[in-house]
Chains A and B, each alone.
Chain A
């Protein structure tokens, strides 16, 4: 009898162990028992608010994916004129927007979009700079345009951040060609790029002196589709997340010249369930700080640096397109130790920012820009 029980026990254990590997990568995401937070709609009437940034607490720039840029003052929005032509197809459109670190003095803004300026077929991601004057864009300047254009629907990126040393960073996804782009330094796509604020290429970029044909603007490579990027408020390092295939979304700390491995290593599989590679790590390829299995489809990223919420200071907030919530991640010694759903079922979260007032704001499809507040 005892023997029988033991065998049964062993069978149970053995069937349990292999099933673990396909389950959620810990720590498991928690749903708080008490819903302490709710939201106020700050800006509405924007179908897909893809990116936004604060000029001041009551002045916000918002992109709509379909190709509109809005200037919003006290919740009243006005369309900004003078955008270049936007190639709207699949995941492409008007993407991120950011203000120059000295915006107050020079009125310069940066934005990414997919476009076709070559008059051929398809599109690819571009970074522009322009001066914002009276709700119009002037002195429009193309700082970077990825080539070649393609009709593929996927992976345009894109987020924009600035360091404190006079650089602008932006991302471009692999453009649906993972076998060609992310690992090849002579090809655009699957990269983080670094430029000087005026668009010139820093001569100390990691691949600046490589053989001709190398894209000298590349800062890091082997990315799939990064749609969240932020400078860590204390370490000043670049934190980024990227969409994996089925499973294998990642958080990475982006460093000078490093290779993040896509598609040579991944924790995900094809959408059809077939294998991409059996390798999850290889020498010379960076490991993520965290990976999600299953994928949450991350978009937008912000750290909470204020005291307006209790116990959230230093936490990382990431939107989930797939599961329609905001994820709060507690990180200790570069390890995710806790994950929690905030505003469950709020909708597809595209972007996350901390406002000058210290509150967190999210861009949600079909809803607009929402401010996260404590329930009364």
Chain B
């Protein structure tokens, strides 16, 4: 019985800690969702599907998942093609949207955790965005 309660408390505690850890991520994702609808949705579309050959997809995008820092750089300073995403060539321009570092972190967290994307509960922080310099 005693063992059961200690096990239960351990489980509860880890759950609690897990939730606490993820609280910043969840809040950041919610803020990022708003930024996304404001700044990104017109080109990358509602489900991050993009437009083949013109606006690269953000959902299930090999380029994005393999180039997190480059993607943050792109949000911060703008980026210019050509890049290859899921085997398709994209030779466009995305200009800097004038987002603050915390907004870039939020929208990255939203994108990395939406439409089937997963970043293993890792949080992009504004200090990470701050570190990435021109």
Contacts and interface: CB of A to CB of B under 8 A. Distances in A.
Contact of A89 (B42, B46, B92, B99): B99
A66 B78 CA distance: 11
A90 interface: yes
A48 B95 contact: yes
B54 A153 contact: no
A65 B95 contact: yes
A89 B95 contact: no
Contacts of B119: none
A324 interface: yes
A66 to B, nearest CB: 7
User: Which of A90, A365, A366 counts the most chain B CB atoms within 10 A?
Assistant: A90
B86 interface: no
Contacts of A153: 38-39, 97
A324 B55 CA distance: 12
B115 to A, nearest CB: 14
Contacts of A87: 98
B97 A89 contact: yes
User: Which of B38, B92, B99 counts the most chain A CB atoms within 10 A?
Assistant: B38
B98 A154 contact: no
B8 interface: no
B82 to A, nearest CB: 12
A47 B95 contact: yes
A366 B98 contact: no
B46 A90 contact: no
B38 A176 contact: yes
A271 B98 contact: no
B93 interface: yes
Contacts of A324: 54
A271 B46 contact: yes
A153 B97 CA distance: 8
Interface string B81-123: 0000000000011011111000000000000000000000000
B65 interface: no
B41 interface: yes
Given A152-B38, A271-B42, A366 B95 contact: no
A366 B97 contact: no
A83 interface: no
A84 to B, nearest CB: 17
Interface of A: 47-48, 65-66, 87-90, 92, 152-154, 176, 271-273, 324, 365-366
Given A89-B98, A90-B97, A271-B45, 13 more contacts: A47-B93, A65-B95, A66-B95, A87-B98, A89-B97, A152-B38, A153-B38, A176-B38, A271-B42, A272-B46, A273-B46, A324-B54, A366-B80
14 contacts: A47-B95, A48-B95, A65-B95, A66-B96, A88-B98, A89-B97, A90-B97, A153-B38, A154-B38, A271-B41, A273-B46, A324-B54, A366-B80, A366-B92
